[in-house]
Amino acid sequence: MERRTFVKVSLLTSTVTSFIDPLSEATAASDTQQNANPEFYELRIYSLKNARQRKAVETYFQNALIPALNRLGSKNIGVFTEYLPQGFTKLVAVIPFNSLDDYFNTSDKLASDAAYQQAGADYLTAEATAPSYERIDSSLLKAFALMPKLEAPEKKPRIFELRRYESHNELAGKKKIEMFNQGGEIAIFKRVGLTPVFFGETLIGPMRPNLTYMLTFDNMEEHDQNWKAFSSDPEWKKISSVPEFTDARIVSNITRMFLIPTAFSQI
């Protein structure tokens, strides 16, 4: 091969490689993420009626449940109270599990954990005349394919937004999850600053079919600014205009809560 031809071929190969490598890396990263085993989350919402109950539940989590679950392999356990509550606050907990077996075996393991039983005795043995809480609303969630693991943010003062999207039937619910995953909505969230902590499909719990996810912001000003950026984003407008992804066809109700972490929350 003549030198001139060799140089041209070498330059062309180098140019093509520079375009292919980033795409290959992105594809490989996406494949790796989708192939990761998804976590499962228990989402608990405690109904409380006074400060005594709030203290009882918070003390139980801080001194008994979180240490015990950490010993069993559940990490990044979040415990939150409502931001600017109306009436008395609720307490919200997010408990990650590595597998369904871990979730279903936890109760038996806690029952045989002497340190947990001792530390949580006041909560666990509360009298009917002075309960530790009114009720627990509990759901079991499965992490989304494109965000199979909870991503705990940097520890600093911040707020969280917990959002639930309900659908009118199971197929519509699956379509909304597809919109987040293959449709690219999660990627847009991250790009515009709607920083996700987790996404989960509700397997067991009230108001099914639904999905639930959590976002975090430094403050409400950042919250408003980043949601505005999302709603005006060209890629979001493109995706949301696809007939099969319109809210009218796949989302029947949206609820949200604003939360702040307790001092001992691991999120």
Identify the CATH number of the domain in which residue 193 sits: 3.30.70.100
Q: Which domain holds residue 10?
A: 1-35
Does residue 221 share a domain with residue 231?
yes
Does residue 76 share a domain with residue 19?
no
3-state DSSP assignment of residue 171? helix
The answer to whether position 246 is within a domain reads yes
Does residue 171 share a domain with residue 135?
yes
Does residue 199 share a domain with residue 102?
yes
Return d(Cα 29, Cα 19) in angstroms, integer: 16
Q: What is the pLDDT of residues 135-177, one digit of tens each?
A: 999 999 999 999 999 999 999 999 999 999 999 999 999 999 9
Q: What Å distances lie between residue 252 and 165, 173, 198, 207, CA to CA?
A: 8, 10, 21, 11
Q: What is the pLDDT of residues 205-257, one digit of tens each?
A: 999 999 999 999 999 999 999 999 999 999 999 999 999 999 999 999 999 99
The answer to whether position 267 is within a domain reads no
Return d(Cα 160, Cα 223) in angstroms, integer: 9
Query: How confident is residue 35, by pLDDT bands cut at 50, 70 and 90?
Result: low
Q: What is the pLDDT of residues 22-31, one digit of tens each?
A: 333 334 444 4
Cβ-based neighbours of 114, under 8 Å, separated by 6 or more? none
Does residue 81 share a domain with residue 47?
yes
Contact 137, 206 (CB under 8 A): yes
The answer to whether position 139 is within a domain reads yes
Q: What is the DSSP string of 21-59?
A: HHHHHHHHHHHHHHHSPPPEEEEEEEE--SHHHHHHHHH
- Per residue, the 3-state secondary structure of 104-141, as one string, reads HHHHHHHHCCHHHHHHCHHHHCCCCCCCCCCEEEEEEE
Does residue 10 share a domain with residue 77?
no
Does residue 31 share a domain with residue 110?
no
Structure tokens at 81: 């109270």
Does residue 28 share a domain with residue 77?
no
Domains in the chain, number? 2
Does residue 101 share a domain with residue 23?
no
